[in-house]
Amino acid sequence: MMPAILVLGIFVVLPILSAVFLSLQKVQLLGGIEYQFIGFRNFTRLAEDERVWIALKNTAEYVAIVVPSQTILALILAVTLNSGIRGQNWWRILYFLPTVTSSAVLTLIFMWIYNTDGLLNDFLAVMGLPRYNWLGDPAVALKGIMIMNIWSTAPFYMVIYLAALQDIPQSLYEAAELDGANGWQKFIHVTIPILQPVTFFVVTMGVIGTFQLFDQSYIFSGGTGGPNNATLTVVLLIYQAVFRNLQMGYAAAIAFLLAAIIIAIALIQRRIFGGERL
């Protein structure tokens, strides 16, 4: 067990302990690294920082919309492909393409679509509608990232659902038919309950992934979280604290706040979905 213990110790336990140490320090990076113990002052500062609350609000809104949407879309796509449609192998490849494409490339493509002279505004012009500044409107900017991520991540979870659907015994559906169940009733009373452990996994992974949104927000806003902090996320705020403000201890405190939120939501999901039976 020693090789596994060494790997976990070096790449998991040691970074966590380092983060705990940093969160209790005021770190001076310029002119030589210096550490000054300040206790829990970094954590008390979190409650007073307006940008932390803005980042939490944006991230919570993003998670609340993206996770259910990508889960439902993934299930619909999986059920469609599992129904035996013609050319399903080609459909699988087509659906899965966004997942294997670089996140940065997808973000640049969608920025071109949302641009003032981009594809979306060209379509509006053809329809006789006025052009719109999609990237510059604080009320719309985060929604644009949401649409892109739902479209690009749902196919990954579709594959997971598809594998689970193919493992469901046909005898269960045949028994339901003998009891007079139609297609919708079989889906609600047979498919959905059997997929509950898979749904727990998909939602949990979706929550963890969406709470860690960074690269799309960074590219969309040029690292500022704009316009007007509309695309500021918790992870982007951590990045800004370290690489712009050189406040490594404060960034570690924000990271612990994010970890606590993710763990709490995962435990709640485990309770809701009955994850203890997995």
Average pLDDT over residues 175-188: 88
**pLDDT at 252 > cutoff 50:** yes
Supply the pTM of this predicted model. 0.89
* Residue 97 confidence (pLDDT) above 50: yes
Q: Is the pLDDT confidence value at 278 over 50?
A: no
Per-residue pLDDT for 89 more than 90? Answer: no
Q: Is the pLDDT of residue 62 over 60?
A: yes
Domains of the chain: 1-39 (no CATH), 43-277 (1.10.3720.10)
* pLDDT tens profile 70-82: 999 999 999 988 8
3-state secondary structure the chain: CHHHHHHHHHHHHHHHHHHHHHHCEEEECCCCCEEEECCCHHHHHHHHCHHHHHHHHHHHHHHHHHHHHHHHHHHHHHHHHHCCCCCHHHHHHHHHHHHHCCHHHHHHHHHHHHCCCCHHHHHHHHCCCCCCCCCCCHHHHHHHHHHHHHHHHHHHHHHHHHHHHHCCCHHHHHHHHHCCCCHHHHHHHHHHHHCHHHHHHHHHHHHHHHHCCCHHHHHHHCCCCCCCCCCCCHHHHHHHHHHCCCCHHHHHHHHHHHHHHHHHHHHHHHHHHCHHHC
Q: Given a cut of 60, is residue 201 above it in pLDDT?
A: yes
Looking at residue 98, what is its pLDDT? 85
Report pLDDT digits (tens) over 265-277.
988 888 887 654 4
pLDDT tens digits, 202-227: 999 999 999 999 999 999 998 899 88
> Is residue 199 very low, low, confident or very high in pLDDT (cuts 50, 70, 90)?
very high
Mean pLDDT of the chain: 89
